[in-house]
Amino acid sequence: MKRALKRGDVINVNSVLEHSSVTNTGFGSSLNAFGEVEIDASYIKSNGESGALSGLQSFSPTQELFRIYKEINELYKKQPNLTRPLSLHCSGLQKYMDIDVDDHLGSAKAKEIWMGYSGRQDQYPVEGAISDTIGSIVINSNDTTLATTSGGNFFKLPGRIGCAGIVGAAIYYEKIGDLEISCMCSGNGEQIIKYSLAQLIVTNVHLMDEGKYGPQLEKLLIGKDKDLYCGFVIVLKKSDGRIHLLYGHTTETFYFGTRVNDSTSVVLSCAEKEGKFTFGEYKLQ
């Protein structure tokens, strides 16, 4: 994460994380029921552009995500009467355009897990799995970009689309009045999808009282599901340039990092008690 924070844009930030065997995306992704990698990815830009892909098999899925959507954008400029697709699955898209396919994404550990529990997934120790979504928010003076990728859960059904492959679930952005709000979520993908969690947070946090974000976010989330298993980062950018970061989680641990100019920080937040809502905030600028 410290290496990633030295990079300047979303693609390069995420690439560092995706190339590591200790994250569940790119190299080291969880394997599905067939022992294959299927990566979900999505992005949002503050200019209103967004897109999502599922079934990626790329060493650098964020880079491939943006490359594919650049080609799609050019294609739909020539077809102004058609609405550009927001979400696509690569199994069908590969018949139409070249898409990066890497057969060496499974780490030795991932393959060992799959071989050891294939055919008896009900005995798989889920708590030992790496299943975290990774994502980045990059805020410049003129624009904001969010991007997230994830390999999903081990032994998932082939074709399953996780929260990182659905805009509004793992990531969301909206400008409300003079406030720009960005959010990224990780955790139980099905819960995150069910509640469109990132969108839910963004559309509610601007109504909350500053200084009382923690209890109000806890009320919002636990009110939806008392067993909600998630972590989130919210970034509030005000018109005067002030940037406020909020984070919370019900997961056992939650990692995130920040960079403001050349100053970087990596935070590991640990829950005081299993299932307890843990909250914190920083004034970044």
Alpha carbon of 281 to those of 73, 145, 237, 269, 274: distances in Å? 37, 21, 14, 11, 21
Catalytic residue among 23, 133, 145, 149: 133
Task: Verify whether residue 144 is a known catalytic residue.
Answer: no
In angstroms, the CA 41 to CA 166 distance is 8
Per DSSP, helices labelled H in the chain are 10-18, 61-77, 90-93, 108-117, 189-194, 197-205, 213-224
Q: Is 27 exposed, middle or buried (0-12, 13-18, 19+ CB in 10 A)?
A: buried
Q: Look-up: residue for tokens 């009382």?
A: 212
Beta-sheet pairing, 87-89 with 50-56: parallel
Which residues have a catalytic role annotated? Answer: 133
